[in-house]
Structure 1
């Protein structure tokens, strides 16, 4: 049998294969959803009674030649960076991009598209690239808007501070004017004092 036929058989087997779990995992939260062989003396699962969960037995596995392969027939190869992606053989291996940031992921997807390497955990590489680029541009736009708003706020703050300063200076000046009399009023007072002195001197002279 060719690999294509084996892959079809694997696909068919996978559809008909039931999930092997411990019977009690469906009823008790303490029991994990995993497979353990039933060892009970009167276990209905071990005795393969009808209506009970399926017991693991021969015939459920995939053909040896295609075991552990992707449905496309490619081998899984985990990729973390550009260097690891470059070592892959596009005819036999498919990239499985690990959990990395969008910036690095974008570089890997672009390179995979350029080198025609299949990315097994991304349905459409071109769409994924577009989606990441759109998110980057939206984030950049939002950042620019935030900086604009921040700049405007700072300008308004400076304006308000200047206005407050001017107001305080004006109030201070008006207070000083009230406390200290003007030059004209001082001159008038001095003239009156001089006049009074003269009058006093005249009266003294007359008395003599």
Structure 2
């Protein structure tokens, strides 16, 4: 562990002197992205490594093999998606990076399990604060969902009531009352009387 700490310190000093490796003359053109691409020009001064030109990537800029890929805390980061993966972690040498492809519910489960087992979480500086924020957000979402469901249920019941009223009025209109029937009979009798005359 002591050797690793020393090597991590060496890596830190090396990374301070490491230049940014970018595309040749990318700072002069907005169209050219600031990423690394090897210069392929026939007379390229960068490719020929002339003095005063941007540096090319070399093995000398790399970090020591023993601590390559390690977190600055000295732990090896492991991406975790499930509780089984979380249970298989070595506390002394490994740290947890919770996957970004996980939903909030599973993230809450993993954070609580990690806090119970005292596993270091490298993906967030303050895991307790993050857990509280996620739980509050989760509860709030559940409340809004319930509210929406109740509103939807109310709307459906109202629609049913309106449709029932409409059907009742249609039935009432289609079925004439006793008074209307008697009036119609009287009219029919009057018509027959007028026809006879």
Q: Aligning the two structures, in what range does the TM-score lie when normalised by the shorter sequence? A: 0.7 to 0.9
The 3 A distance-change label for structure 1 pair 75 and 178 is: same
Instruction: Mark the runs of 5 or more structure 1 residues left unpaired by the alignment.
Output: 194-208
Structure 1 or 2, whichever has the larger Rg, is 1
1:16-95 aligned at under 5 Å gives the runs 16-23=17-24, 27=29, 33-36=35-38, 38=39, 40=41, 42-45=43-46, 46-50=48-52, 52-57=53-58, 59-95=60-96
The TM-score with structure 1 as length reference comes to: 0.72
Please report how far the alpha carbon of residue 93 of structure 1 lies from its aligned counterpart in structure 2 after TM superposition: 0.6
Looking at structure 1, the residues matched to 110 and 182 of structure 2 have their Cα atoms a distance apart, in angstroms, of: 79
Instruction: Mark the runs of 5 or more structure 2 residues left unpaired by the alignment.
Output: none
> What is the RMSD computed on CA atoms of the aligned residues?
3.3
Please report how far the alpha carbon of residue 123 of structure 1 lies from its aligned counterpart in structure 2 after TM superposition: 2.4
Assess if the C-alpha contact under 8 Å between 1:25 and 1:31 holds in 2.
yes
The TM-score with structure 2 as length reference comes to: 0.76
The 3 A distance-change label for structure 1 pair 157 and 116 is: same
SS of equivalent residue, structure 1 residue 181? helix
1:110 aligns with 2:133: no
Looking at structure 2, the residues matched to 92 and 35 of structure 1 have their Cα atoms a distance apart, in angstroms, of: 35
| Aligned twin of 2:149 | 147
Q: Number of aligned residue pairs: give it.
A: 186
Looking at structure 2, the residues matched to 39 and 168 of structure 1 have their Cα atoms a distance apart, in angstroms, of: 84
| Aligned twin of 1:200 | none
Looking at structure 2, the residues matched to 41 and 150 of structure 1 have their Cα atoms a distance apart, in angstroms, of: 70
